[in-house]
Homo-oligomer: A and B are copies of this chain.
Amino acid sequence: MLELESLSVGQYGFINNVFSFGLAVMASSTLFVWLMKGSVAPAYRMAMVITGLVTAIAGYHYLQIMLSWQGAATINTGEVLVTGEGFNRAYRYVDWLLTVPLLLIELILVMKLSKSDTMSRSVKLGGAAALMIILGYPGEVSSEVGTRALFWILAMIPFLYIVREMVVGLKDSIARQPDEVKGLINAAAILLVVSWAFYPIVYLLPLVGITGGSAIVAVETGYTIADIVSKAVFAMLIFLIAVRKSAADERELVAEAAKQGEQKTPVKKVA
């Protein structure tokens, strides 16, 4: 279990503030994309709604994590005393089980692929993401090193599949995107892969004997930063992509209409 008593009062308070910061960022990001939904074309509004859902779910879990943290210890005469309630780290897994598949679906939706492609990629990537989280959980709650290592390896299989799909599998689809969003979509895919790579590293820390107050601070701050990058910063990228694609689609529509207008004129003259 977590040795909360190895924390100083300052460290205990700092982690509380980190959780509160996470909650505030996630809630702000949610409100931003939902309130700005009207400024993207209808085709991209489902991507906006799901982008906001991911951060809303994450915000809810940061509230739960913060309350669990506050209930797990009290401060008395300058010392952190555990209450025995325990700090519920599993909230992170409950969060990821919902948000990680949705994050991949966000990216697929904003690309506006064909209907069948959207469906098959959502099922494959979303399924792999859910499987990755489910396989990670038994190792996270186990205190045995062997169990932790085994489930780390098992969870890495769907993780590597997702990385491969992001880096190689999406290449053709990204190449067909309008020029002004190619760079952004690439950046979003890379942001996901890089920020997600942080989690399996943190997962291994207890295996290599990194424990104590500073380790708890590092793990909780690290997870929170990774969550903010992969969800809220990612949300801003998805929003920007949706805005630019809305503009590109409209330009294409106008060009198409102008072309049809030109074609009509000679036809009429001939008639």
Q: Which residues of B contact A21 (CB under 8 A)?
A: 94, 97-98
In chain A between 28 and 42, which residues have their CB closer than 8 angstroms to a CB of chain B?
Answer: 28, 31-32, 34-39, 42
A151 to B72, CA, bound (A): 33
* Copies of this chain, whole number: 2
Query: Which A residues contact B (CB, under 8 angstroms)?
Result: 9-10, 13-14, 16-17, 20-21, 23-25, 27-28, 31-32, 34-39, 42, 45-46, 49-50, 52-53, 56-57, 60-61, 64, 74-77, 84-86, 88, 90-91, 93-95, 97-98, 141
What are 21 sample pairs from A and B whose C-beta atoms fall under 8 A apart? Answer: A13-B86, A13-B88, A13-B90, A16-B88, A17-B88, A20-B64, A21-B94, A23-B60, A24-B95, A25-B98, A27-B60, A28-B57, A31-B56, A32-B53, A35-B37, A36-B45, A36-B46, A38-B45, A39-B46, A74-B84, A75-B85
Minimum C-beta distance from A247 to chain B (A)? 11
The answer to whether A39 touches B45, judged by C-beta atoms less than 8 angstroms apart, is yes
Closest chain B CB from A26 CB (angstroms): 11
Contacts of A77 in B (CB 8 A): 84
Q: How far is the CA of A226 from the CA of B222 in the complex (A)?
A: 33
Among B24, B39, B74, point to the contact of A98 (Cβ < 8 A): B24
- Whether A90 and B24, one on each chain, are in contact in the complex, defined by CB atoms closer than 8 angstroms, is no
Q: Are A49 and B32 in contact (CB under 8 A)?
A: yes
Nearest B residue to A76 via CB reads B84
Is B61's CB under 8 angstroms from A24's CB? Answer: yes
- In whole angstroms, what is the CA distance A31 to B48 when docked? 12
Q: Contact between B85 and A17 (Cβ–Cβ < 8 Å)? A: no
What CA separation (Å) do A45 and B39 show in the bound complex?
9
Residues on B with C-beta less than 8 A from A13 are: 86, 88, 90
Starting from the known contacts A25-B98, A32-B49, A38-B45, 14 additional A-B residue pairs (CB-CB under 8 Å) come to A14-B90, A17-B90, A17-B94, A20-B64, A21-B94, A24-B57, A24-B60, A24-B94, A28-B57, A32-B53, A34-B35, A39-B45, A39-B46, A75-B86
Contacts of A20 in B (CB 8 A): 64, 91, 94
Contact residues in B for A37 (Cβ distance below 8 Å):
35
Which residues of chain B come closer than 8 Å to A64, judged between CB atoms?
A: 20
A59 to B75, CA, bound (A): 26
